[in-house]
Every structure is written in structure tokens, then in C-alpha cells.
């Protein structure tokens, strides 16, 4: 075991290193590459927050994309410059039409509204024994699409809201990512997280040990939705457009796939799954248009990334059904142990 002080120091150093690297990337890399790096950050936050609900607490939510949509639209409407707002959304009620919040409060309110939606869906459903949440959240995805399409005055319906200010940059994204990881880590290392894991293991026994099932499940679900809401808002202000189709089933499923591939009940698993499944498809996308490697030209392989991803998913599920990382967690002790082993080997 390493002492706590040292671990804190290492974590701090790692954070500094991360932001130095991001700073350098920001100077050197093209906007296209920076966008990928930012998407990696957002996806990490989304998957880690999804893991709190689905992995640690064991209530299977498919609603993440819906909460992203809620956060994205709320933040977009709140932060839209007044001049633009008057043109794009002239029918907004006065109290909304005359506010223009800066980005941070818009994000937070977006997250909070998403969390409130989670509370409204979750309260009736999570009181029941059994896995009704997956169905309920799937229904929520449908409902939210319909609502967004119908609420023309607020959302411009199917046309979506475009021309959002591109507030989201590397710093917003990665600070959000770090905060999400920190909060989830704090939760799982407290009585709240232990209660959630107990519920996942055996809900009757957890309840018989005094864990209030509804309260803890709702907590996990709402915290997940809060971060999904902010993630959606960041996403919208990176792409600068939101439409009802921005956050549909495929978004939820790709997040669930990332979570399953990395490891559902582990923060590290979320980070690994999200990074891998964001980066690999981007690399594969190059193959789809055809490239030349060392004089050998590879013809365009349309759809190859989908095929490779599906194969990867199948292989991971067969070989490591608990995901690449499983339920283990990164720890600085890993390095110490390795060092210790190599030292032992040197002595031999």
C-alpha cells in the first residue's frame, strides 16, 4: 500500500500532465483532430456516469441519449444570443426569449433539468422490484423525440436549432470529464456507492440491511442523468447544431457498447471503453475512403468501421464478458507492484 499523500501527489501530477499534453495538442493538431480529442473527453464523462447507474447500481438505464437531448436543448435555448434568439425562436415565451445566460449556468441548468426528468421517470419505476427501468427509459427516448419535434416554439421542431456559439473547447470538455470522474469516484467510495453496489449484488439483502432501495437507485439514476445532460449540452455547443435526431437510440446504444466493452462496474472501464470506441472508429473511417500505405493502395472499404466494431464487440463479449477492464479499478499501487516485481527479478 502506498500512503495517501503520495497517491494524491501522483494524481495531481497526472492531471497537470494531462492538461499540458492537451495544451500542446491544442497548438499543434488540426481542428479535426482536436474535435476527436474533445469527443473522447465527452464520451468518457458520459460512459463513466452511465456506469454509475448501470454498472455500480445495477439499474439498467437506456435513457442517456434522452438526457443528453434535454441538456442540449435547455442549454442551447438559454445560451443563445438574444439577437439570434429573436430570429430563430421568435415564438419563445417572453421570460425565455429575453434571457441570455453565459455557458456555465446554461450547462448546469441543462444538467439539472435532465436530472429532474430522471426523477420524474425514475420515481414510479424504481419503486418496483425488477428491471422496468430499461423499458421505461426506452420509452423516454421515444417520448423525448416526439416532444422535441412537437414543441416548435421552443425547439424549431425537426429543423433543430443551428448556429449555436461554439463555446465548447478542450478546456470545457476535459475539466467536465475530470469533474465527472471525481464525483463518481467520490460516490462509489462512500456509503452511497457501497449501498448502490449492495443493491446490484442482492437488492433484498441490501434492503434488509437498511438500504433504502428507491432512494439509492434514484440517486444513481439522477446523478447519471445530470452528467448526461451536461455532456449533451457540451456536445451541442461543439457541433453547434441540435436536432431531434442528434440524440437517438444509436447514441444510447453506442454508449452502452462502450460501457460494456470497457467494463460496466468500473470507472477505469468507462474511460478505456469510451476512449477505445471513439478513437478506433475514427481511425477506421480513413479506411472507408481508401488510403495508400507504403506504396500499397487500399481501396475504399465502405462500412468497414461498422463491421470491425461489431466484430470487436462480439469478441470482447465472448472472451471477456465483464469488459476489457472488468470490475477492477486503476490504482497507483499497480505501478508500485510492477516496480517491486521487476526489482525482485533483478535480484534473482
| Residue 2 lies near another protein (rule: CB under 8 A) | no
Report residue 140 as a C-alpha cell.
423516454
Q: What angle do CA 56, 324, 141 make, to 5 degrees?
A: 50
Regarding 207 and contact with another protein (CB under 8 A), the answer is: yes
Using CB under 8 A, which residues numbered 145 to 184 contact another protein? 183
Among 172, 192, 227, 235, indicate the residue that binds another protein (CB under 8 A).
Answer: 192
Q: What does the alpha-carbon distance between residue 121 and residue 226 come to, in Å, rounded to a whole number? A: 14
With CB under 8 A as the contact rule, the residue among 191, 283, 307, 314 that binds another protein is: 191
**String of contacts with another protein for each residue 276-315, x by CB under 8 A:** ----------------------------------------
Pair 36, 75: CB distance under 8 Å = no
Among positions 77, 80, 198, 260, the unique one binding another protein when judged by CB under 8 A: 198
- Min CB(195)–another protein separation in Å: 6
User: Could you tell me which stretch among 114-122, 201-209, 286-294, 306-314 binds another protein (CB under 8 A)?
Assistant: 201-209
Cα separation values, 250 from 32, 68, 160, Å = 22, 13, 18
Asked if 234 and 107 touch (Cβ cutoff 8 Å), the reply is yes
Phi, psi angle pair for 165, to nearest 5°? -70, 135
Is residue 209 involved in binding another protein (CB under 8 A)?
A: yes
Q: Does 186 bind another protein (CB under 8 A)?
A: yes
The footprint of another protein on this chain (CB under 8 A) covers a number of residues equal to 24
| Binding status of residue 204 toward another protein by CB under 8 A | yes
Exactly one of 117, 144, 213, 261 binds another protein (CB under 8 A); which one?
213
Residue 329 contacts another protein per CB under 8 A: no
Stretch that binds another protein, among 35-43, 55-63, 136-144, 185-193 (CB under 8 A): 185-193
Residues that bind another protein (CB under 8 A): 183, 186-187, 190-192, 194-195, 197-198, 201-202, 204-213, 219, 327
Amino acid at each position: 500500500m502506498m500512503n495517501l499523500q503520495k497517491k494524491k501527489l501522483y494524481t495531481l501530477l497526472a492531471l497537470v500532465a494531462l492538461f499540458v499534453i492537451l495544451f500542446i495538442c491544442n497548438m499543434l493538431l488540426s481542428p479535426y483532430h482536436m474535435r476527436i480529442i474533445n469527443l473522447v473527453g465527452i464520451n468518457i464523462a458520459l460512459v463513466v456516469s452511465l456506469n454509475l447507474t448501470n454498472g455500480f447500481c445495477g439499474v439498467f438505464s437506456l435513457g442517456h441519449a434522452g438526457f443528453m437531448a434535454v441538456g442540449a436543448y435547455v442549454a442551447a435555448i438559454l445560451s443563445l444570443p438574444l439577437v439570434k434568439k429573436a430570429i430563430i425562436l421568435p415564438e419563445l415565451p417572453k421570460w425565455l426569449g429575453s434571457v441570455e445566460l453565459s455557458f456555465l449556468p446554461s450547462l448546469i441548468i441543462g444538467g439539472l433539468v435532465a436530472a429532474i426528468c430522471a426523477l420524474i421517470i425514475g420515481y414510479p419505476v424504481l419503486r418496483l422490484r425488477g428491471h422496468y427501468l430499461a423499458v421505461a427509459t426506452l420509452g423516454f427516448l421515444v417520448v423525448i423525440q416526439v416532444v422535441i419535434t412537437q414543441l416548435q416554439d421552443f425547439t424549431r421542431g425537426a429543423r433543430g436549432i443551428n448556429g449555436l456559439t461554439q463555446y465548447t473547447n478542450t478546456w470545457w470538455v476535459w475539466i467536465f470529464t475530470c469533474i465527472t470522474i471525481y464525483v463518481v469516484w467520490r460516490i462509489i467510495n462512500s456509503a452511497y456507492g457501497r449501498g448502490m453496489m449492495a443493491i446490484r449484488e442482492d437488492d433484498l439483502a441490501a434492503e434488509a440491511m437498511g438500504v433504502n432501495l428507491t432512494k439509492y437507485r434514484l440517486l444513481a439514476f439522477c446523478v447519471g442523468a445530470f452528467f448526461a445532460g451536461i455532456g449533451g449540452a457540451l456536445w451541442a455547443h461543439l457541433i453547434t447544431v441540435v436536432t431531434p435526431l442528434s440524440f437517438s437510440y444509436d447514441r444510447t446504444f453506442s454508449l452502452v457498447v462502450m460501457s460494456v466493452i470497457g467494463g460496466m462496474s468500473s470507472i477505469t472501464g468507462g474511460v478505456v471503453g469510451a476512449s477505445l470506441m471513439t478513437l478506433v472508429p475514427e481511425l477506421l473511417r480513413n479506411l472507408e475512403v481508401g488510403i495508400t500505405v507504403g506504396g500499397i493502395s487500399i481501396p475504399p472499404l465502405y462500412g468497414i468501421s461498422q463491421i470491425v466494431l461489431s466484430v470487436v464487440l462480439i469478441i470482447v463479449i465472448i472472451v471477456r464478458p465483464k469488459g476489457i477492464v472488468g470490475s477492477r479499478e486503476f490504482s497507483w499501487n499497480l505501478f508500485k507492484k510492477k516496480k517491486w516485481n521487476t526489482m525482485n527479478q533483478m535480484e534473482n
